[in-house]
A = this chain, B = another copy of it.
Amino acid sequence: MNHYATIKDIARILKISTSTVSRALRDTYDVSKETKEKVLAVAAELNYKPNYNATALARGSTYNIGIILPMINNYYFSTVLTGIQEAAYSKGFNIVLFITNNSAERELAIIQNLFITSLDGLLVCISSDSDSCSHFQEIIDSGCPVVFFDRVPSNIKTSTVIQDDFNGAFEAVEHLIANGYTRIAHIAGPQGMVFTERRVEGYLAALQKNNFPIRKEWIIYSGFSQEDGERDTCRLLDGKERPDAIFAANDRKAIGAMLALKSRNIRIGKEIGVVGFTNDPMSAIITPSLTTVAEPAFEIGRESCELLIKHIKKKNFIPEEKVFPAKLIVRESSIKK
């Protein structure tokens, strides 16, 4: 490794003790102005850099927080991560990033090999088919604060940050109904995930409120990708009864749906309405533009991180549950005109 000057070097040069140097560098009061200045001068001259590992070992706390994400190469997660980073940076924390690729195995491997002793806290969005909750529980029990966001486990008591999936879905479906669509299908996320269920519940609640029948075959659970959306839509179109609107669990699936409709020359909006969820920039670019439910991704990331840091700073925190509102953004894909 690179060899930098240490406080011992500074102490030797100034013929003072290492403790004094340490105090001077940390700007503690117990040191005279002159020696402090001398120390800082020598430190600058030697290009002194504090050894993070030594500090962490001595103090018992690193300024690192671990982030576990299913993926980062889409709008939502990259924006969340940007928000996390913003909060961490402003509070002097570093981010150690882990990506699970939506794989439960990988998530498990990461957690097991996680050098948890070098992290002050953990921010996690569980992978879609995750079943590693007991491992998280173990980490929490050991005293390491953990905050979950977006995809949260149902059976762990700790802080969570999510968007209002139920009301977002509810509003989306009500909007479709208000615009004259009567046969509304839902292409959902993977079964078993909390946010999938909440969005389904919002969908169902809107149907019930308006006295629309519920058709099981019009709720299709699958993955998050554009291809999943395309496949789900084809299944719907090939069914006995064709819906006249599709509410998708996210924008990628909605875009997949739109591509499927386009390839069959079905006019989006006029013949079949489409609403997504996320407000991916793509939704504004695609033709026709996609009506969607906006999630405050940046804010969710920032808030999650701030909450975690709060927990790190005062232990014995009481878990909080933060819910961000989701906002309907009406565009062309859901207007019959």
Q: Select which of B3, B78, B96 is within 8 A of A74 by beta carbon.
A: B78
Whether A57 contacts B53 by the Cβ 8 Å rule is yes
Whether A117 contacts B72 by the Cβ 8 Å rule is no
Interface string of A62-79 (1 = CB under 8 A from B): 101000000111110111
Whether B117 contacts A49 by the Cβ 8 Å rule is yes
Whether B281 contacts A118 by the Cβ 8 Å rule is no
The 7 A-B pairs with the shortest beta carbon distances in the complex, nearest first, are: A52-B118, A52-B115, A2-B143, A73-B78, A287-B287, A53-B56, A78-B78
Does A318 have its Cβ within 8 Å of any Cβ on chain B?
A: no
Whether B99 contacts A97 by the Cβ 8 Å rule is no
Does A13 have its Cβ within 8 Å of any Cβ on chain B?
A: no
- Chain B residues lying within 8 Å of A285, measured Cβ to Cβ, are 255, 282, 285-286
Question: Whole-angstrom distance from the CB of A48 to the nearest CB of chain B?
Answer: 10
Can you list 17 A-B pairs, Cβ within 8 angstroms, ordered by A? A1-B61, A2-B116, A4-B116, A4-B117, A47-B138, A49-B116, A49-B117, A51-B57, A51-B117, A51-B118, A72-B78, A85-B98, A95-B96, A96-B96, A282-B282, A285-B285, A286-B286
A95–B64 alpha-carbon span in the complex (Å): 11
Residue total for A at the interface (Cβ-Cβ under 8 A) = 50
A125–B56 alpha-carbon span in the complex (Å): 28
Chain B: CB-nearest residue to A92 = B113
If the complex has contacts A64-B96, A282-B282, A282-B285, are A118 and B53 also in contact, measured as CB distance less than 8 A? yes
Chain B: CB-nearest residue to A3 = B143
Does A144 have its Cβ within 8 Å of any Cβ on chain B?
A: yes
- Chain B residues lying within 8 Å of A89, measured Cβ to Cβ, are 98-99
A82–B53 alpha-carbon span in the complex (Å): 27
Q: Select which of B85, B116, B118 is within 8 A of A99 by beta carbon.
A: B85
Q: Select which of B78, B117, B281, B287 is within 8 A of A282 by beta carbon.
A: B281
Chain B: CB-nearest residue to A109 = B89
Q: Select which of B49, B71, B98, B118 is within 8 A of A82 by beta carbon.
A: B71
- Chain B residues lying within 8 Å of A230, measured Cβ to Cβ, are none
Does A154 have its Cβ within 8 Å of any Cβ on chain B?
A: no
Interface centre among A62, A82, A85, A97 (most CB of B within 10 A): A97
- Chain B residues lying within 8 Å of A144, measured Cβ to Cβ, are 1-2
Interface centre among A3, A82, A117, A142 (most CB of B within 10 A): A117
Whether A2 contacts B117 by the Cβ 8 Å rule is yes
Does A50 have its Cβ within 8 Å of any Cβ on chain B?
A: yes
A75-120 interface with B by 8 A CB criterion = 75, 77-79, 81-82, 85, 89, 94-99, 115-118, 120
